[in-house]
Amino acid sequence: MMGPIPSPKHQLTGRFRGIRVLICAVVPILVSTISPAAGASLPDHRFSLEFETGAVWQSRNQIHIPDSSAGTRFALTDIQGNGPDAQRRVELTWNMAHRHSVRFVYAPLAFSGTGTFEMPVRFAGGSFTPGTAVDSEYKFDSYRLSYRYLLHESEHWRWRIGATAFIRDARVELRQQGVVASDSNVGFVPLLSASLEYDVAPRWTALLDFDGLVSTQGRAIDAAAKIRYDLSDTWYLTAGYRVFEGGVDNDRYAFGWYNFALASLGVRF
C-alpha cells in the first residue's frame, strides 16, 4: 500500500487538504491556458484515450498490520504466488494547449490465492494457524490526476514535467476456518510526474513515463519504458515494461513490488 497512511481520524482531512492545494495550483493554469489571451497554439488532437493490458507479477508483497507486537510480518506471495495475473489500465489525456496537458489514470490491481503459513500469523486483529489453508485477497486500485508542462521540445525530443494527485483504494483480507480479518485504506498522496519521448523513426517513438515520490514514511514509484507505433494519425499501439513499487512504514508496514509486461491501444481525437 503506497505512500504514507495517516490515522483514520486525520485521513480524510489530510486527503482533502492535498486536493485543495492541487486545485489551487492547477485551476489558474487551466484558466490561463484555455483563455484566448494565453496565445498558445492548440494541438492537432485535444484528447487521447489509451487502453492498456498485459501480465503482472508480484516480486514482493510484505504485510505487517499493525506494525507492532500485535501483528506478524508475512509475505502475501507465499500464499498467492508470484503470478502472472492479467492487468488493465485506462488513461485519458486532455491537451489543453501546446505545452499544457492533464491526464487521468485508472489503474486497478488485484491478486487472490490460497496457501498456508509456516508460522502463526496475527493480522488486523485475527490469528491464523500454520499448516491450514488460508484464503487471501489483495486490492490496490489507484486514481490519478496529473498536470504536465512541455518543458523542452526539439526535432526528436519532448520532455514534460508536472505533478500527480494519487488516490489509492487498498484492501487486504485473510480467511481461515471462520476467522476473517481485513484492513482497508483510502488515502491521498502527491507525486512528482515526468515523461520523456524520442522519435526513433517515422511512426516509431520511445517513451519513458514516471510518477513517484520518496518520503521518510514511505515511497511510491510507477515507471514505464515503452515503444509506440502510430498506425495512423489517429490510432497507435504501444508495448513495454512497467514497474510499480513502494510502501509505507508507520503504524502499518506494507511494501510491494510489481512488474508488468504491457501492450496498449490508443486513439487521438
Residue 84 falls within a domain, yes or no? yes
- Domain containing residue 229: 8-34+43-268
Q: How many angstroms separate the CA atoms of 77 and 186, rounded?
A: 23
Q: Is residue 218 part of a domain?
A: yes
| 3 assigned to some structural domain | no
**Beta pairing class for 110-115 and 204-215:** unpaired
**Domain CATH for 156:** 2.40.128.90
The pLDDT of residue 215: 86
Q: What is the pLDDT of residues 88-144, one digit of tens each?
A: 999 999 999 999 999 999 999 999 999 999 999 999 999 999 999 999 999 999 999
Predicted TM-score of the model (pTM)? 0.83
Give the separation between CA 134 and CA 80, rounded to whole angstroms. Answer: 10
Mean pLDDT of 2-10: 41
Is residue 2 in some structural domain? no
Q: Is the pLDDT of residue 179 over 90?
A: yes
Q: Cell digits for 192?
A: 512528482
Residue 242 lies in a domain: yes
pLDDT per residue as tens digits for the range 146-167: 999 999 999 999 999 999 999 9
Please report whether residue 140 resides in a domain.
Answer: yes
What is residue 217's predicted lDDT score, i.e. its pLDDT? 80
Tell whether 1 is covered by a domain.
no
Phi, psi of 79 (to 5 degrees): -95, -40
Tell me: the pLDDT tens digits for 221-268? 999 999 999 999 999 999 999 999 988 888 889 999 999 999 999 999
Domain count, the chain: 1
**Distance in angstroms (rounded) separating the CA atoms of residues 198 and 191:** 24
3-class SS string, the chain: CCCCCCCHHHHHHHHHHHHHHHHHHHHHHHHHHHCHHHCCCCCCCCEEEEEEEEEEEEEEEEEECCCCCCCCCEECHHHHCCCCEEEEEEEEEEECCCCEEEEEEEECCEEEEEECCCCCEEECCEEECCCCCEEEEEEEEEEEEEEEEEEEECCCEEEEEEEEEEEEEEEEEEEECCEEEEEEEEEEEEEEEEEEEEEEECCEEEEEEEEEEEECCEEEEEEEEEEEEECCCCEEEEEEEEEEEEEEECCCEEEEEEEEEEEEEEEEC
Q: Which three cell numbers stand for residue 222?
A: 510507477
pLDDT tens-digit readout, 25-78: 444 544 444 444 444 567 789 999 999 999 999 999 999 999 999 999 999 999
